[in-house]
Amino acid sequence: MADLPSRARAIIIGGGIMGSALVHHLALQGWSDLVLVDQGPFPNTGGSTGHSSAMVWLPEASRVLTAASVDSVRQYKELGVHTTVGGLDLGRTPERIADYRRRIGFIRTWGDFQAALLSPAEIRALVPYLDDSVLLGGLYLPSTGVVDAIRAGTLMREAATAAGALQAFPLTEVLGIDVDQDRVTGIRTDRGAIRSDVVILCGGVWGPKLAAMAGASVPFTPGIQQLVSVGPIAAFANLPGEIDFPIIRDSDPRIYARRVGGDMEVGSAGHRPMLWDADRIPSLAEATLTPTELPFTADDFDASLESALELFPSLFDDERAGIRYAINGLSSMSADGLPIIGEQPEVRGLWSANRVDIKMAPAVARTLATWLVRGMPETALQPFDLARFLPHERETSYVKARATEMWTRMYERLHPARELSSARDQRHSPVHDRLVALGAQLGEQAGWEIPKWYAANEPLLDVYGSRVLPRSHEWDARWWSPIANAEHLALRDGAGIEDLSSQAMFEVTGPAAAAWLDGLSVSAIGGAEGAAGGAEGAAGGAEGAAGGAAAGPRRAVRTWLLDPAGGVVDDVLVVRVEAARLLVLGSPASEARLAQWLTRHLPTDGTVSLHNATGAWAALGAWGGHARELVAAATGLDVGEPAFPRGGVWDAGLGGAAVLVVRTDRLGGPGWELLLRADDGVRAWDALVAAGGPLGGVPVGSIATATTVRLEAGLRSRSLDYVGGYGLVEAGVAGPVRESPFVGRDALLAQVAAGPAALLCTLGVDDQRGPDGEARFMQGGEPVTTRDDAILVDARGRRSFVTSAGSAPTLGRHLLTAYLPVEHARVGAPLAVQYFGMPYPVTVLAVGSDPVVEPSPRTRA
């Protein structure tokens, strides 16, 4: 074999499908002097790629996974390694069949995919070997196929080698990764050392071990998925090719089956979870087969065998069809089930691409190569970014607990409001005990336990009766309560007190702090001292006429951070506390992304300091009809106009604690946020609640604030509304673009000049009665169509789907938001939404960020 070169432009460790696809794309994008090493032989290096069933379902379980699979399938087809055979998702229960109807709705919003619900007879016509008597039906996805992944990897490596860009070295073991002052400098192998300042780990289950060589870590764990091959199958004796009928997935016993030549391969996700440790992986010499084909534990698979026999009696009830291959297959499992891609925060120049399965690898490789070569990630990679993990999410115990739970929940009917139950109570608000004492029903965001509603508010149900829009269908009522709607109404009539302590909070200090933030922000941050209010392009309207004078430089501005392409990074509140001290506040789920974004743009000359203060402050919100009186009573401040306009910031005392009072109007009507030290949180909460008593103030949870009140006010959801490449113009929140430079300004100007192809609108459901007369409540993701069931598509080919959904108790209706093609974006337009396969008439109530419910005159004060 040739000698290792002494240096390389980039070293890729791992020659499975991920590493092979990556070198191919790096070469295509112009890099050369690439070196790929693997401890194993080619073409099957002994990693997870080698034993995989290599199925690519199309469409996949979500929009982003489907997009990646589409790209990968296109690449596999170009290589000639893809066989389309179709896939059948079987249904044994009415709930599962209903769920397929729901999925068909989502699929309609992702593209022009074929998907059909089949009867047992139709299934049997496609797959005569199935015993359809155990089935109620199934979902047929004809574009599904299988891939020869080993061959694909070989072709991709050969292409890069033939182009002179790559040298690949199998049977070469990495012994160490060299790091100097937090930068990678090369690797050491059993055949010599190679210098490079770019090292990319594509080592599959060996990922944690490789990262550790460089003093880095990647939060995933190896885990087992069992697989057997049964044959010879008598019925396959004279069939052509490797596979000629659809792949089968049986979601209730959690098994799948596909033909491989004369055998039937059966895999299971239904056995007990079996995580693995990287130091228990045998070497190639020690392994009986390969290091990722571990000894089979037959007892664990017996239930799956029974299910397989039940499905395919004609194939498997045959003494001559033997279980002639059986493994506990090893692959990578992450806490959220998604790939993990990016530059390691511990070591510059060290990248990793982990937990990337065959259906994703070519797409991920193309995107990652673009990121490496051009330095800017496409937004498509964001859900997979290594930077998404918070510190607690990198702990091994967390990864194992979540990977275990995700394993047991594989193939479950995925509810949009689903909460996981493992690894909870990672982060508590300073007032957590108060919330629990009030019967808070907690949901998790970014590890925080956040109230969705309070059981202590149950008496409000008697006050509001049927105005709380009760839900009778069990799916619609999951992780929801009519108490949330009662809180909404109580907030409007009295006041709502919200604990906001879980919000992401960053302190920015230094002489250039304000100017720096101003350069990242759509709205002016008041970098110029004494700047008057007026037209600054802030959210939805004027900042408050008398803003400047009374508040001095202290003000709060609602703004957006954009990337250079005009995509929305986040929607934040910037509070200027002092001339050289500002706070950036985002939602709890934004913390990791904000931390990465702000850090990445930080100047290196020391004029700006950034500190992640999340959790160091407590924060309380006061909203609703009597919020002004509540804040005045609690703090002694005169919080009425004109003394305290929107955006104002004041110091005050609350229950003996020093607080910063900020008028943010975040929920539409006048609203105040009180920021204070975490240790003072409890006394401030108690004081606010006490002051609220006589005014009808109640604690309110996140369903009331982040969903229902927000929807009625025509306000955008930070997490749900800026998806899919829609920008500020189409979200209906772009005002005039200010003259001063900021990141994304050119792109925003271009968006303004081009005009919207779609606009985010609020729709009301006209008639919620489903097939049996029961009122149904859409959850989000559903397709929006004409009354004739034609999916709405805008001029840029984007299909309309519900971005968020919730009750409007003030109106007595269910509300949805969706980006509608401009020709349909008008108040009164009659449309429909499809939910579980049924159409429901809807009407456009508001276009852009117009509210559906105007704040009442008294609350405007």
Q: Give least dist CB 302 to other proteins, A.
A: 6
Stretch that binds other proteins, among 83-91, 279-287, 395-403, 807-815 (CB under 8 A): 279-287
Q: Give least dist CB 327 to other proteins, A.
A: 9
Residues 211-230 that bind other proteins (CB under 8 A): 230
E strand or H helix that includes residue 19: helix 17-28
Q: Which is nearer to other proteins, 308 or 562 (CB)?
A: 308
Q: Give least dist CB 321 to other proteins, A.
A: 6
Burial (Cβ within 10 Å: 0-12, 13-18, ≥19) of residue 822: middle
Q: Which is nearer to other proteins, 305 or 456 (CB)?
A: 305
Q: Which is nearer to other proteins, 306 or 638 (CB)?
A: 306
Which long-range CB contacts under 8 A does 125-129 form with residues at least 24 apart? 126/86, 126/88, 126/245, 126/246, 127/88, 127/245, 127/246, 127/248, 129/235, 129/245, 129/312, 129/314, 129/315
Q: Choose among 163, 14, 156: nearest CA to 80.
A: 156
Q: Which of 1, 2, 237, 285 binds other proteins (CB under 8 A)?
A: 285
Q: Give least dist CB 324 to other proteins, A.
A: 4
Three-class DSSP category at 691: helix
State how far the Cα of 707 lies from the Cα of 715, in Å rounded to an integer.
Answer: 10
- Cα angle 530, 662, 563; round to 5: 75
Q: Which is nearer to other proteins, 47 or 645 (CB)?
A: 47
Amino acid at 609: S
Q: Give least dist CB 318 to other proteins, A.
A: 6
Q: Which is nearer to other proteins, 319 or 772 (CB)?
A: 319
Residue corresponding to tokens 């919330």: 435
The answer to whether residues 706 and 588 touch, using CB atoms and an 8 Å cutoff, is no
Amino acid at 163: A
Q: Which is nearer to other proteins, 200 or 308 (CB)?
A: 308
E strand or H helix that includes residue 326: strand 322-334
Which x/- pattern over 8-47 shows residues binding other proteins (rule: CB under 8 A)? ----------------------------------------
State how far the Cα of 516 lies from the Cα of 66, in Å rounded to an integer.
Answer: 38
Q: Give least dist CB 323 to other proteins, A.
A: 5
Backbone angles phi, psi at 418, to 5 degrees: -55, 135
State how far the Cα of 808 lies from the Cα of 469, in Å rounded to an integer.
Answer: 9
Q: Give least dist CB 276 to other proteins, A.
A: 11
The answer to whether residues 160 and 19 touch, using CB atoms and an 8 Å cutoff, is no
Residues 230-249 that bind other proteins (CB under 8 A): 230
Q: Which is nearer to other proteins, 321 or 689 (CB)?
A: 321
Residues facing residue 138 across a β-bridge: 90, 118
Q: Which is nearer to other proteins, 286 or 529 (CB)?
A: 286
Q: Which is nearer to other proteins, 143 or 290 (CB)?
A: 290
310 to each of 131, 209, 300, 305, 580, how far by Cα in Å?
A: 7, 41, 17, 8, 70
**# residues contacting other proteins (CB under 8 A):** 27
Q: Which is nearer to other proteins, 294 or 842 (CB)?
A: 294
Residues facing residue 13 across a β-bridge: 37, 201
Stretch that binds other proteins, among 41-49, 139-147, 287-295, 375-383 (CB under 8 A): 287-295
Q: Which is nearer to other proteins, 280 or 600 (CB)?
A: 280
Q: Which of 282, 383, 439, 696 binds other proteins (CB under 8 A)?
A: 282
Q: Which is nearer to other proteins, 296 or 835 (CB)?
A: 296
Q: Which is nearer to other proteins, 319 or 462 (CB)?
A: 319
The answer to whether residues 593 and 383 touch, using CB atoms and an 8 Å cutoff, is no
Q: Give least dist CB 297 to other proteins, A.
A: 9
Q: Give least dist CB 79 to other proteins, A.
A: 17
Q: Which is nearer to other proteins, 308 or 353 (CB)?
A: 308
If binding is defined by CB under 8 A, does position 280 make contact with other proteins? Answer: yes
Q: Give least dist CB 41 to other proteins, A.
A: 11
Residues 294-333 that bind other proteins (CB under 8 A): 294-296, 298, 302, 305-306, 308-309, 316-324
- Cα angle 803, 809, 810; round to 5: 110
The answer to whether residues 146 and 83 touch, using CB atoms and an 8 Å cutoff, is yes
E strand or H helix that includes residue 395: none
Q: Where are the alpha helices (DSSP H) in 80-135?
A: 94-110, 120-126
If binding is defined by CB under 8 A, does position 274 make contact with other proteins? Answer: no
The answer to whether residues 510 and 605 touch, using CB atoms and an 8 Å cutoff, is no
Record the tokens describing residue 584, joined without a space: 């950036």
Beta strands in 634-789 (DSSP E): 649-654, 657-663, 671-677, 697-699, 758-765, 784-785
Q: Which of 114, 119, 288, 472 binds other proteins (CB under 8 A)?
A: 288
Q: Give least dist CB 21 to other proteins, A.
A: 23
Q: Which of 3, 286, 462, 605 binds other proteins (CB under 8 A)?
A: 286
The answer to whether residues 265 and 53 touch, using CB atoms and an 8 Å cutoff, is yes
Q: Which residues bind other proteins (CB under 8 A)?
A: 230, 280, 282, 284-289, 294-296, 298, 302, 305-306, 308-309, 316-324
